[in-house]
């Protein structure tokens, strides 16, 4: 199987801007699925609304393109109805952390077997470049022309605090690492969160004088370090990447099935 075998080519070319990192994410997600040998018929991809959410239209899986911020709610329903399927939920800043924030923390708390991919481009791209919960303090956006006074969420810490049993971070520069992390996340039996720093040269990069897509990729190279790197101690502003949590815990659908059996016996 090749990458093309997993694409709905009739919807190409895609609508992502030149230099957008979301295509890199889609490419490596497909490669991870190929490596795992998963059948297209055993995968359901659920998305909400936004640049990242358009990925469901390009991939030849069972797909649901749902409401803004509600992707995880739909995914929970699908997983409970068909627990044998692999559920993958690509989201952006808003779908995962803003309007979808409550769904995110409760999916993590329940430890339902869903893979949440958060494409963090630090901006609301599709609707015009407004600042998001992941934009960053003093960063500029169309709705923060003088810099945002909001402090961003740390997605990894939020996921860990909410109880996700698999939590990781990578970037669109570190493609080999991304593919390997996605493979582990998909195979993990529990709620998996993979934050992927993804460049947006059109809005975030331009507003914050970060250069073109290549410049932004190089920024991920120089401003991120593996977990536990000595460089992090020397420069606390560096962002750690890797797998932060990988634990085996009771999975929600399995516990639900046990509860049903218990009720039937009574």
Express each pLDDT in 217-250 by its tens digit. 999 999 999 999 999 999 999 999 999 999 999 9
* Residue 88 backbone dihedrals phi, psi, to 5 degrees: -120, 130
- Topology (CATH) of 3-265: Rossmann fold (3.40.50)
Helix (H) or strand (E) holding 74: helix 71-81
Q: Rounded distance, CA 211 to CA 18, Å?
A: 13
Mean pLDDT computed over 256-264: 93
For 24, other C-beta atoms within 10 Å of its C-beta total 20
The strand pair at 62-65 and 115-120 is best described as: unpaired
| pTM of the predicted structure, to 2 decimals | 0.95
Dihedral Cα 170, 174, 180, 185, nearest 10 deg: 20
pLDDT per residue as tens digits for the range 152-202: 999 999 999 999 999 999 999 999 999 999 999 999 999 999 999 999 999
The predicted pLDDT at position 94 comes to 86
pLDDT per residue as tens digits for the range 92-142: 988 999 999 999 999 999 999 999 999 999 999 988 999 999 999 999 999
Ordered by start, the domain boundaries in the chain are 3-265
């Amino acid at each position: 199987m090749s990458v093309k075998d997993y694409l709905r080519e009739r919807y190409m070319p895609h609508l992502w801007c030149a230099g957008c990192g979301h295509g890199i994410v889609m490419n490596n997600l497909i490669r991870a699925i190929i490596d795992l040998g998963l059948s297209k018929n055993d995968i359901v991809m659920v998305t909400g609304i936004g640049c990242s959410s358009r990925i469901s239209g390009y991939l030849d899986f069972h797909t649901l393109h749902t409401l803004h911020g509600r992707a995880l709610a739909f995914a929970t329903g699908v997983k409970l109805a068909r627990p044998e399927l692999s559920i993958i939920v690509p989201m952006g800043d808003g779908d995962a952390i803003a309007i979808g924030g409550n769904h995110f923390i409760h999916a993590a708390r329940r430890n339902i077997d869903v893979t949440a991919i958060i494409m963090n481009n630090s901006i609301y791209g599709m609707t015009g470049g407004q600042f998001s919960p992941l934009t960053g303090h003093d960063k500029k956006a169309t709705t923060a022309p003088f810099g945002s006074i909001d402090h961003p969420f740390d997605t990894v810490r939020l996921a860990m605090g909410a109880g996700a049993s698999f939590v990781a971070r990578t970037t669109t520069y570190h493609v080999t690492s991304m593919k390997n992390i996605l493979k582990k996340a998909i195979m993990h039996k529990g709620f998996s969160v993979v934050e992927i720093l993804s460049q947006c040269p059109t809005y975030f990069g331009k507003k914050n004088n970060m250069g073109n897509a290549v410049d932004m990729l190089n920024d991920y190279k120089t401003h991120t370090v593996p977990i536990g790197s000595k460089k992090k101690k020397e420069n606390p502003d560096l962002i750690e990447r890797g797998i932060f949590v990988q634990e085996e815990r009771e999975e929600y659908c399995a516990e639900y099935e046990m509860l049903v059996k218990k009720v039937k016996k009574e």
